[in-house]
Structure formats: C-alpha cells, structure tokens
Structure 1
Amino acid sequence: MYAIKGDRLLVQGNRAGEPLRDGEIIAVRGDDGAPPYLVRWTDDGHVSLTYPGPETWIQHFVHAPSMD
C-alpha cells in the first residue's frame, strides 16, 4: 500500500449495513509511502494513527507541489 499526504483512505464496513468510512491522510509515518497513516476521519473529525487492513484502499489525487 502506498499513499501521500492528501490522499483519501477508504474503509469498507465488515458487517451488513455498515457504511463506508473515509478520511484524509494528513501524514505518512512509514517509509516510502507505507503505513501507518495519520488520518482525519470525515464522519467525526477524529484524527488517528491507522494501520490499514484488507478492507481498506487508497484514493489517490494529483497533488500540487508542497510548500512545507
């Protein structure tokens, strides 16, 4: 799995009727875009360090060069 800051992390629910959860990756803590990721979840704004599982995928975006 590979991500960069600004990509979205999407998590499919494990149970019937459980909604898809998504969040913005605000920091990548692994080497070369690997997990874990610091994610701000869109449903409640909570920020958590996340180790993605098999029900998870990354939505990549074209990013402007960072000014950091």
Structure 2
Amino acid sequence: MACKGDRLVMHGRAVGRQEQVVEIIEVLGPDGTPPYRVRAENGHETIMSPGPDTVVDHRRTADEG
C-alpha cells in the first residue's frame, strides 16, 4: 500500500542497470493499492502498477509532513 508522496524504487533486473525512482503523485486504486500516477525525476508522468522488483519507500521530506 502506498500514499501520495511515497516513492517507488524499481531495482535493476540486469547487471549494470541502475535503480529507478519515481514519486507517487496520485493513488488510483482503493486503499493505497495500484495503479499509481507517478512522476519521474525528468518530469515525465505515467500510470503504473509496479511489479515484484519494486518497493515502496514511505519516507517523506520535512515539508511533506
């Protein structure tokens, strides 16, 4: 389960591939479940349902509460 402001960390599945991190900007499923509208560091937004190689990072910055 996730909330707006959480981050999804997608671990690289191949040698040499780096993790990708996106911010959840909207939860579209019930009770914090996927799908999520996310924003990448480059500003690109998409809707995704994360796979098993993805973890939710619940940390927030100080101004997010």
Same fold (TM over 0.5): yes
How far off its partner does 1:30 sit?
Answer: 0.4
Aligned residues: 62
1:32 and 2:8 matched: no
Secondary structure of 1:14's counterpart equals: coil
TM-score normalized by structure 1?
Answer: 0.84
Gaps of 5+ in 2: none
Alpha-carbon displacement from aligned partner over 1:10-51 (angstroms, at most 9, x marks no partner)? 101111111100011000000000001111012x22101011
Q: Distance in 2 between matches of 1:9 and 1:29?
A: 15
1:22 and 2:26 matched: no
Within 5 Å, which residues of 2 pair with 1:1-68? Answer: 2-42=1-41, 44-61=42-59, 63-64=64-65
Superposed structure 1 runs of 4+ greater than 2 Å apart: 61-64
Q: Distance in 2 between matches of 1:13 and 1:48?
A: 19
Q: 2:2 corresponds to which letter in structure 1?
A: A
Equivalent pairs: percent with the same residue? 44
Q: Distance in 1 between matches of 2:54 and 2:14?
A: 14
More helix by share: 2
